[in-house]
Amino acid sequence: MQNQRTRRAHGPSRLTSCRSRNPRAEAPKADASAESRLPARSLDRLYASLGTAALAVAGCTATDPTGSPVAEALLAPPLAGRALELTEKSVTLQDGSELRYERGVLQVPVRRGVADSASLPLEFYRFFGPEEGAGPPILRIMGGPGWTGAGERVENPGWAEFYVLPFTAAADLVVLGQRGFGASGALECDRPEPLTLEEALSSRRRQELHVAALEACRQAQEDDGVEIEGFSVLEMAADTVEVGAALGYEKFQLLASSFGSHVSMAVLRLYPNRVAQATFNALEGPDHTFDMPSGKWAALERISASARSAEGATGPSPLQSFRRLVERSRSEPVKVELLLEGEDWEDLLAGESRREVTLELGPDDLTSLPFLGSTTFSFRWPRWYAALEDVANGSLEEEAEELLWRWTHPRSEAPAALQLDCGSGLTAERRQRIADDPASRWLRADDKLEDCISWGSPDLGDTFRSGFETAVPVVLIHGDHDSATPIDNALELLPSFSDHHFVWVAGGSHGALVEAFDVPEFVTALQTWLRSGDRSELPELLQVPLPF
């Protein structure tokens, strides 16, 4: 028997017939309970014939292996030239052995249910698990939106050992790309021109130019004939099922983090009979695209408390000092004197060798200081805490200069990311909760809430965002120091999973799943779950090492 490192992958191929491993028969009727919860607004064409059309890849149809009703792929019409391309590849591991794997590209419709819709290439990578005793194939959906694919990452030293081998010890691992990014039909907009210093120092002018850039980006997509409505979570859910079917997987399990869990919950809702089990880290539920400021602030307080405990600090918390600074700035902006000089600024100094500028920072500016966005993963926390102490002590020059640089050099927006996040949106109830959240006074809410108004994305509707429930067995993993998707998300979602095991990762960041790999017993227990569905060895509380 060949092991997972030497097993031969398939060469380049086209999917032109139905294989015995591929469950393809007449399409079943849609799951009535799932259909009743589907959005009725803005998706009429997408769902017009749900349950009457089949997953079609080169003329083959898909069905659920149990014969149970299931909402099959969203009206995927046969497309001329639609094919599955598999290319054998290999990488040398750090121990000198060779890992063979496949790069796959499946042509998928941009908009299912639209007969003349274009197609796009969906890239994925398949790594083989054990020949015997393997669990259901693992479909890995990464976070974002914005994951550009495994691509060159596979060649990075240690990447496969850390992100692949722990999972292929249990089953095949398929790492999916995301439509609209990287090799999977990337959408791009021109980078905005740099702002003058005068424009950058005017908040009103910055906002005007930002809105204009968003509108120009959207118009550019339409002028290029991009079917922008096709970049939705529902289409991504169908992509997931189609890749599994094309690879011959009758059933699979999901492994997803952050935005990937958001997509995976749509898979569970639409295709419950295709999913054997699921593992989610850093949960983002159907109505969690925009996070509660209080949940993020609570995570920052835990990180700060961990840092203070490690250094034996006493006295006022710098996080509370920062909060008071933000509150004071409402009545009197904080003034920061900057001296701009050197090659980093020469293009904006209009021939001057140096220039002194004064930034007046109000609450919106202070809550946009760059250090606040550096707490996603634990390895960044020491730098964050050091910057927090500086800002709390009144040393704002470094952060203020970086903020000004970002103002003068706005980045281009990712059209697919805007479309995906704005399309998922949020309920009116959650929008009001965010507006009423006391922490929003000292922690800025997501700017994309305002961007969505300018972008004008079709909304998937409240039916998409509410009423989610599933009986599929799941393991939920969430860190209580996660400032990107607060652990409150997971606690809110627990009643939606009737068959769950929750692992609270004390000290875990947004990457709590991989941080938990530092605990060998956890890795063994997770592999047991992935291979056999046995959760009995998984802990309910797991403490991970902190970087302080």
Residue pLDDT, tens place only, 232-244: 999 999 999 999 9
| Span 385-410, average pLDDT | 95
pLDDT score, position 413: 86
Rounded CA-CA distance 339/500 in Å is: 56
Q: Give the up-direction half-sphere exposure of residue 283: CA atoms within 13 A in the CB hemisphere.
A: 29
Contact at 8 Å (CB) between 393 and 181?
no
Beta bridge pairs of residue 85? 105
Pull the structure tokens for residue 271.
Answer: 């295709």
Beta bridge pairs of residue 334? 361
Report the percent of the chain where pLDDT is more than 90.
Answer: 78
Is the per-residue pLDDT at 80 higher than 60?
A: no
Mean pLDDT of the chain: 86
Is the per-residue pLDDT at 448 higher than 90?
A: no
Report the percent of the chain where pLDDT is more than 70.
Answer: 85
Identify which has the larger pLDDT, 75 or 367: 367
Is the per-residue pLDDT at 188 higher than 80?
A: yes
Is the per-residue pLDDT at 430 higher than 50?
A: yes
Contact at 8 Å (CB) between 460 and 487?
no
Q: If we measure between CA atoms, which residue out of 380, 450, 420 comes closest to residue 258?
A: 420
Q: If we measure between CA atoms, which residue out of 277, 283, 222, 266 comes closest to residue 420?
A: 266
pTM (two decimals): 0.87
Range scoring the smallest mean pLDDT among 194-198, 284-288, 344-348: 344-348
Under the banding of pLDDT at 50, 70 and 90, the label for residue 125 is very high
Is the per-residue pLDDT at 160 higher than 50?
A: yes
| Span 147-161, average pLDDT | 94
Cα distance between the two ends of the chain:
46
Contact at 8 Å (CB) between 372 and 390?
no
Is the per-residue pLDDT at 70 higher than 80?
A: no
Contact at 8 Å (CB) between 483 and 510?
yes
| Span 359-367, average pLDDT | 94
| Span 20-41, average pLDDT | 32
Under the banding of pLDDT at 50, 70 and 90, the label for residue 292 is very high
Range scoring the smallest mean pLDDT among 36-45, 216-225, 262-271, 384-393: 36-45
Pull the structure tokens for residue 130.
Answer: 């054990």
Contact at 8 Å (CB) between 104 and 14?
no
Q: If you search the block for the tokens 């970087």, which residue do you land on?
A: 547
Classify strands 173-176 and 138-141 as parallel, antiparallel or unpaired. parallel
| Span 441-464, average pLDDT | 87
| Span 439-463, average pLDDT | 87
Is the per-residue pLDDT at 545 higher than 90?
A: yes
- Predicted confidence (pLDDT) per residue in 511-526, tens digit: 999 999 999 999 999 9
Is the per-residue pLDDT at 30 higher than 60?
A: no
Q: If we measure between CA atoms, which residue out of 46, 189, 39, 202 comes closest to residue 114?
A: 46
Range scoring the smallest mean pLDDT among 53-62, 326-335, 507-516: 53-62
pLDDT score, position 74: 55
Is the per-residue pLDDT at 270 higher than 50?
A: yes
| Span 194-200, average pLDDT | 94
| Span 200-213, average pLDDT | 95
Range scoring the smallest mean pLDDT among 50-54, 250-254, 358-362, 466-470: 50-54
Contact at 8 Å (CB) between 63 and 251?
no
